[in-house]
Structure 1
Amino acid sequence: MEQGRAMAPAGEPTFAERAYRDIRDRLIMLEIPPGAPVNEDLLAQSIGFGRTPVREALKRLQYERLVVAYPRRGTFATEVNITDLAHISEVRRQLEPTAAACAAERATAADRAVLGELLRRLEREATVGQAGDALMRLDLQVHRAIYAATHNPYLEDTLVRYDNLATRIWCLFVDRLPGMAGHVVEHGPLLRAVVDGDRDRAAELAAGHVSGFERAIRKAI
């Protein structure tokens, strides 16, 4: 039986889900550069799964605008188009404050424990400092934890998609953004507001974060 069709143990992500997460994050972090061909065989070898889960993952990633497939040409990582920034920000300005408010209101004790640990990591980052790649991954973790705490799978899925696209833009211009660490660390007050259940403060901070991100990118262009 091809490994991709094997059943994962109960409660664990399927091979297709694991392949999807791995390839998705490679695309987000530009480890697979924009416009680069996506070779199913090479990906399957590097991930350690068969071609079936990789093929399934690429279908999902095409829907999420991270890859594009052309007949008789193959599959490619989508280009990072700076003109998309306005469209992405338009969606995030509406939904990020909603998500932050919902998370503050609905987060379970387990959610608040996760968010509290991320807050402590951010506080350590403010004094120690990390490499750019580690900062980017920490930023993704913070956003995804807040979205998960909304307990609204439709809102979570939508915002994960748009945050992924925004992060690709950020990665493209990271060398021109010397204040990246500050941008990530400023999540601290937002996390505190969510943990404390202050929905209005959380929404306000989330809105400011999205606007600040867009201004920083436009200044770097």
Structure 2
Amino acid sequence: MQQVATEARGEAQSLAERAYRAVRDRLVMLEIRPGAPINEDQLAQSLGVGRTPVREALKRLQYERLITTYPRRGTFATDVNITDLAHISEVRQELEPLAAAQAARRATPTDRATLTALRRELDDADSRRQDDAELLHLDLQVHRAVYAATHNPYLEDTLVRYDNLATRIWCLFIDRLPDMAGHVGEHGPLIEAIVAGEPEQAAELARRHVEGFERAVRAAI
């Protein structure tokens, strides 16, 4: 009986995690538009899960500032406020170089293989001239792989949250940003530095990348 209960809890957690990741990425990529109402029943149906996993996912997303709930009004995707750019960049300019350096020091053979595969995807994306949405998905994959390679769950969780918020700003101005491929392509040398175990170089490249992101968005406003 205890084993059955444990398995049931594990399944519920798995469904909640799946719901969380799916809804999170829809919010990050603005597939759920800023200010749009969040309907639990519709989300549950579209994800093929019950309302309980969706409700658990929404609790996490509210903490991560991707949704907000108003009494007697309901739950909505948070607005993307350009005034948040400076605050987000301030955090990322400190933590992204730290994460890149730690990834260069701590990456396991599996981490390095994952990053090397993403490096090849970057090259393929450049040759195929993928659209901006595909490039943004690849950008998110690279950032999350770097954060995972730090083997610091607190640093990883923090940076995933801030990268998600930064990506929403990027998506808002994507039609005004002419060199999306160039921005994503900057990850190539960063990955090479991490895989080669060069923390100082990795940190410097990460710092330049974050600074370039802020400059590009401000130029597009």
Please give the TM-score of this superposition, normalised by the length of structure 1: 0.95
Matching of residues 23-172 of structure 1 within 5 Å: 23-172=23-172
| CA distance in structure 2 between the partners assigned to 1:13 and 1:35 by the alignment | 28
- 2-side partners of 1:91 and 1:191: how far apart? 21
* Counterparts of 1:194 and 1:37, CA distance in 2: 41
2:75 is paired with a residue whose SS is strand
After TM superposition, give the deviation of residue 48 of structure 1 in Å: 0.4
Unaligned runs of 5+ in 1: none
Q: Which residue identity lines up with residue 59 of structure 1 in the other structure?
A: K
TM-score (norm 2): 0.95
Name the structure 2 match of 1:209: 209
Q: 1:32: Cα distance to partner?
A: 0.5
- Distance (whole Å) between structure 2 residues aligned to residue 6 and residue 40 of structure 1: 22
Contact 2:29 2:168 in 1 (8 A): yes
- Aligned equivalents of 1:104, 1:8: Cα separation in 2: 33
Q: What secondary structure is seen at the aligned counterpart in 1 of 2:32?
A: coil
| Distance in 1, Cα, partners of 2:34 & 2:150 | 31
Identical columns (%): 71
Alignment length (residue pairs): 215
Task: Say if 2:35 and 2:76, in contact at 8 Å, map to a contact too.
Answer: yes
- 1:126: how far off? 2.1
Query: Are the counterparts in 1 of residues 67 and 78 from structure 2 also a CA contact under 8 Å?
Result: yes
**Structure 1 residue 202, shift from structure 2 partner:** 0.1
Q: Over aligned residue pairs, what C-alpha RMSD do you find?
A: 1.4
Please state whether the residue corresponding to 2:173 is helix, strand or coil: helix
Counterpart contact for 2:13–2:53, Cα < 8 Å: no
> Which whole-Å CA distance do the structure 2 matches of 1:13 and 1:6 have between them?
9
- List alignment gaps of at least 5 residues for structure 2: 1-6
Following TM superposition, the consecutive aligned residue runs of length 4 or more in structure 1 with deviations greater than 6 angstroms are none
- Residues 28 and 165 in structure 2, CA contact (< 8 A), matched pair in contact too: yes
